Amino acid sequence: MLKFKKIKGNFVHHTAVINWKDLKIGKGNIIGPYVVIGNKAQWKKKRKSGKIVIGNKNIINEFTNIHLPTTLKKLTYIGNNNYIMNSSTIDHDCYIEDHVTISSNVVLGGNVHLMKHSNLGIRTIVHQNQVIGSYTMIGMGSIITRKKIIKPGYVFYGKPIKLIKKNNISLNKNKITGKSLTTEFLRYKKLKKNI
């Protein structure tokens, strides 16, 4: 049986390595075996600065790494109700909104922003300083380079990634109207401009 301990209202596997000093965490999170939270940022030229913030009711599966931020943003952030599968890497200064799915072996370079309800397939690789739009589906094995536009509400796939079709499954499931999608696209453009 897997051995979890209840710590600060969260279930944490006894093998997880967590830098509690640099972590602010909510409640109801499940942190799996051999998860590492709060190791140094993987960027030689930048020093660690700031905290990791994790919200509520996230599932973080085994062997996932979540790195400390740098002076770039001073925050690595994971919101609420996210599902992070095994062996994923969330590098420094990443920002993950709510209801995001990160499949097994996904790698997020530094300063990547995942908007709400985005879904990244197995072994997706995301270049640093990139924004992934809300209600998107990224096909497994895709490579998202720096300049690609991953706008909200679409399915993308490929090496490098290409737009395939509208993500009607997610849009219908979440009752997203044309007006709501336009609002998300405007928010995406603002985030992309400022990243």
Q: What is the pLDDT along the chain (195 residues), one digit of tens a residue?
A: 579 999 999 999 999 999 999 999 999 999 999 999 999 999 888 888 999 999 999 999 999 999 999 999 999 999 999 999 999 999 999 999 999 999 999 999 999 999 999 999 999 999 999 999 999 999 999 999 999 999 999 999 999 999 999 999 999 999 999 999 999 999 999 999 998
* Integer Cα distance of 57 and 160 in angstroms: 33
The pLDDT, as a whole number, for residue 51 is 97
* pTM of the predicted model as reported, rounded to 2 decimal places: 0.97
Contact criterion met (CB below 8 Å) for 75 and 99: no
Domain 4-194 has CATH 1.10.260.40: no
Contact criterion met (CB below 8 Å) for 61 and 79: no
The pLDDT, as a whole number, for residue 1 is 58
- Across the beta sheet with 131-132, the strand order is 23-25, 51-54, 75-78, 95-96, 113-114, 131-132
* Integer Cα distance of 36 and 15 in angstroms: 9
Give 180's Cβ-side CA count (13 Å radius): 10
> How do strand 107-108 and strand 119-120 relate by DSSP bridges?
unpaired
The pLDDT, as a whole number, for residue 88 is 98
Residue 186: Cβ within 10 Å count: 11
Number of H helices, E strands in the chain: 2, 23
Q: Where are the domains of the chain?
A: 4-194
* Integer Cα distance of 193 and 170 in angstroms: 25
Q: Is the dihedral of CA 20, 99, 190, 166 positive or negative?
A: positive
